[in-house]
Structure 1
């Protein structure tokens, strides 16, 4: 029987960040079997779903608390982000309360399991995010530049300054570092502007629509991810499923996506190490081929069918275990941006 599900996302389509991409994609995954709404929040005055999916332990804490308080017999799923796992659940009371309230916890890569309180790990599930595969772009031999992309809005957790500094340290003549993302932090935006004005190797393209960003990424030689914390970066998946190798900060969230023995790690914040990896992946064909093989070996984890099957299995099992959940009733809005 079709059920009513609400996905609470603190981000909207206008923000076009990882939380929104997850919420939007999960809505599509579930809509074949259920009626799904994506909303910014939920209160006890709103129509009650049979199940709630909440993204972000701290930022969706109020909605999750209201739902579990008003409908204690109905299941809920809490999706843990990087700031949840690597910051908030260790210091924020609301985030910790969300862990207790949710019927199930979802992590986007397995390295985060060790960060959960031992008593809560039994209700935790790992569901890798996904992206449709794109045919790898055949790089023309005559192309003058080898672009390395950073895809992510300018904010402290993403550490764009390491990427900017690396652009001043690369030595390969073809190297060009291209940053896609809006300036959520005005100071970081000013730093990107200044770097672009003084360094021809660095280009800041600003925020792009998701489809355009992915097409631009597809045409890059590699992608860098410089984050200080990640729950399971969707941009890694979009690079891997486009045939683009990744140069990644050596943090738990990235190792959970790329595996412990991946050859493309650099120490977080180490711009010189990132610059050396950029030079090597452009100039050393054997190293570039190794990164591509390692990324290709992970691609099956990020298949849309695998994500949809895991998500539907979790949701359906929770609904079956909650006989008091109400069936679908008409008139529920489809989606709120």
Structure 2
């Protein structure tokens, strides 16, 4: 829906559908190489002369192209342009498709000025935002908080809808047994902005990401991040970002959480980094990238024009 709005601002007529039945259109943008594989092949077969853009997700890049290589790579082959959502996607797709790749950073609106809401006195609040599922490693910060010394004031608050009943029970159990952890369930936009406003730090603990939009939101809010060291995070935050920890490493994450709590210069360093990145996640930049993708797709099918 965000891409629809941005493309309409650029003067295009856009229809969002959940399935493609062969109807004529000037250009198709397919989200997910694997999940949209049937629609991609139908469009490419019925309208081979028309431009086709395929947006690659984290599951496409780091899971589906290995578990379902034939349909996923067929989608990449059919595309006029591939959209990747972080700077390192080219390293993780077949070399034959890299010339089609355009990097687009997902945008976030600038939230209300941070500081309007206040944290509880004597607390150092850390937030985790995103659906609770395996790919997000959603309880890693909660588990890391168990390793903190007794004098730490860290409280971890997690907002997100559980992927299934198992994740719901995990979150409820952790909330009950871990005094440093609160699962808040699914929050609306205003509630999420408030959670970020009262937080001093965000943890993004994913084991697999194609370029998480929550990174954009945190950077635009000036909220420092601790992130798992995976391509999807490194491709957004940069090779030299100081807040990475090894994937699924409770002890390493706990050390960084405690460092951010007790060393103001480290927290300030993280904050400066995300503030510098904020302008790369604006809606204007995302719209420009979408327009560039459309122009490249048109040029690919009509080189002379």
| TM-score normalised by length of structure 1 | 0.84
Which consecutive residues of structure 2, in runs of 5 or more, have no partner in the other structure? none
> Does 2:92 align with 1:115?
yes
CA distance in 2, matches of 1:231, 1:261: 19
CA distance in 2, matches of 1:26, 1:162: 31
Which consecutive residues of structure 1, in runs of 5 or more, have no partner in the other structure? 1-23, 324-337
In the other structure, the counterpart of 1:25 is 2
Question: Aligned to 1:147, which of 114, 125, 148?
Answer: 125
In the other structure, the counterpart of 1:226 is 205
RMSD (Å) for aligned C-alpha atoms: 1.8
Shift of the alpha carbon at 1:262? 0.9
> Does 2:204 align with 1:252?
no
Question: Aligned to 2:77, which of 91, 95, 100?
Answer: 100
Q: Is the 8 A contact 2:117 2:197 kept in 1?
A: no
Shift of the alpha carbon at 1:49? 1.7
CA distance in 2, matches of 1:210, 1:60: 28
CA distance in 1, matches of 2:196, 2:261: 16
In the other structure, the counterpart of 1:334 is none
Change (3 A) 1:51 1:168: same
Aligned pair count reads: 298
Shift of the alpha carbon at 1:42? 0.9
In the other structure, the counterpart of 1:201 is 180
> Does 2:152 align with 1:168?
no
Q: Is the 8 A contact 2:260 2:266 kept in 1?
A: yes
Question: Aligned to 2:168, which of 183, 189, 196?
Answer: 189
| TM-score normalised by length of structure 2 | 0.92
Shift of the alpha carbon at 1:320? 5.9
Q: Is the 8 A contact 2:142 2:180 kept in 1?
A: no
- What do residues 103-145 of structure 1 show as CA deviations (whole Å, max 9, x unaligned)? 1100011111111211211111001111122323267587232
Q: Is the 8 A contact 2:223 2:271 kept in 1?
A: yes
In the other structure, the counterpart of 1:42 is 20
Question: Aligned to 1:236, which of 201, 211, 215?
Answer: 215
Q: Is the 8 A contact 2:80 2:300 kept in 1?
A: no
Shift of the alpha carbon at 1:184? 0.6
Question: Aligned to 1:290, which of 269, 273, 290?
Answer: 269
Alignment of 1:246-325 (within 5 A): 246-319=225-298, 322=301
CA distance in 1, matches of 2:254, 2:177: 18
